[in-house]
Amino acid sequence: MACGCDNVVAAASISITAIARRLLSRFVESGRFEPFIKFNFVLLSLKRPVWIPMTNARVIVVGNNKGGSGKSTIAMHVAIALIKAGQRVATIDLDNKQKSLTHYVDNRRDWARETSLELGAPTHMCFETVSGRGSEVETLGRSALAEIVERLSRSHDFVVIDCPGHDTYLTTFTHSLANTLITPLNDSFVDFDVLGTVDPNDFKVTGISHYSKMVEEARRQRSANDQPAFEWVVLRNRLSTLGSRNKRLVGEALSELSKTLNFRLVDGLAERVIFREFYPRGLTAVDDVNRLALGGRPTMSHVTAWLEMERLMTAIMLGHLVARPPETSDAGRDAA
């Protein structure tokens, strides 16, 4: 007669998993994720395969395998623009080493406390990955991320995920979670190289590169899970305000590549000192700088940055959610 040990173990595993998921719900409500991730990571994946969750929220992934492209700045600006429009927003920082988005959100909360201003901030977590290698660890990581996105989507309208500037075992899976993928790209052929290659003689596109291939794989994963294709928006970020031959050639190459890879090409945020000034206080171009104790009324830099954000939000079908731009002062018409 069988002792039924396997059934007991299976029942215990399922019970533990249910407890872990209830704990996760509590952490989602409180906004404190790190203890859960560190102590209950393995429990999330017991008796459940990796899956792409069906979510009520719209998932926006900001990704590029090259660092320094402005991903965290874009992620924060999109999140705050949505919050300003009355949307419930959660953000996830997958770069648990640099933590740029996490620090940005922390700076915003600190500045709000210091100035007693109601700035509005997203529900935020920095995803702590499990140390180690191998397929089991990777499966656990993907399952945990899927679980968290699914839980957050129940209480939020948007989930914005900021990816690290390098490839990890979570990269392809994270991209497959997207309803909208935003890829910021500095306006140079050095950065273009993550998307495609060009002929050095005439700068015509000759092929696609590793990041583009990864995005194609993420699209295949969504299709295999009966999920609709995501929208892919490539941002020409940190654009120079001056025309140049390089700017024209990069633009032509991106336009050509967009037809092959089916992405929409949009001008992103220009290189502006004002974005560096925003970061220590956690502020963005869509904040009302008239009331943020910044020492004066908005300048043309503020207004131009806001207009860039309006263009970006329109490109990802959210332009109707952006508030009106600030009014400038005559004295503040500095160079953008």
Query: Does some domain include residue 20?
Result: no
Query: Does some domain include residue 276?
Result: yes
pLDDT higher than threshold 80 for residue 204: yes
Average pLDDT score over the chain: 79
pLDDT higher than threshold 90 for residue 20: no
Tell me the pLDDT tens digit for each residue of 134-175. 677 788 888 889 889 998 999 999 999 999 988 888 999 999
Query: Does some domain include residue 5?
Result: no
pLDDT higher than threshold 60 for residue 80: yes
Query: Does some domain include residue 1?
Result: no
> How far from each other are the two terminal CA atoms of the chain, in whole angstroms?
81
Query: Does some domain include residue 229?
Result: yes
pLDDT higher than threshold 90 for residue 325: no
Tell me the pLDDT tens digit for each residue of 172-194. 999 999 999 999 998 889 999 99
What are the strands of the beta sheet with 123-126, ordered from one edge? 123-126, 89-93, 158-162, 58-62, 180-186, 231-237, 264-267
Q: What is the pLDDT of residue 49?
A: 52
Mean pLDDT, residues 112-117 taken together: 90
Between residues 142 and 133, the one the model is more confident about: 142
**How far apart are the C-alpha atoms of 309 and 266, rounded to whole Å?**
11
| Residue 327 confidence class, pLDDT cut points 50, 70, 90 | low
Residue 265's domain spans which residues?
Answer: 49-332
Helix/strand/coil (H, E, C) string of the chain? CCCCHHHHHHHHHHHHHHHHHHHHHHHHHHCCCHHHHHHHCHHHHCCCCCCCCCCCCEEEEECCCCCCCCHHHHHHHHHHHHHHCCCCEEEEECCCCCCHHHHHHHHHHHHHHHHCCCCCCCEEEECCCCCCCCHHHHHHHHHHHHHHHHHHHHHCCEEEEECCCCCCCCHHHHHHCCCEEEEEEECCHHHHCCCEEECCCCCCEEEECHHHHHHHHHHHHHHHCCCCCCEEEEEEECECCCCCHHHHHHHHHHHHHHHHHCCEEEECCECCHHHHHHHHHCCCCCCCHHHCCCCCCCCHHHHHHHHHHHHHHHHCCCHHHCCCCCCCCHHHCCCC
| Residue 208 confidence class, pLDDT cut points 50, 70, 90 | very high
* CATH number reported for the structural domain that contains residue 160 in this entry: 3.40.50.300
Contacts of 58 (CB under 8 A, 6+ apart): 157, 158, 159, 179, 180
Q: What is the pLDDT of residue 97?
A: 87
Query: Does some domain include residue 79?
Result: yes
pLDDT higher than threshold 90 for residue 17: no
Domains of the chain: total: 1
Between residues 134 and 234, the one the model is more confident about: 234
Between residues 104 and 22, the one the model is more confident about: 104
| Residue 303 confidence class, pLDDT cut points 50, 70, 90 | confident
Query: Does some domain include residue 200?
Result: yes
Query: Does some domain include residue 232?
Result: yes
Percent of the chain whose pLDDT exceeds 70: 71
**How far apart are the C-alpha atoms of 52 and 171, rounded to whole Å?**
14
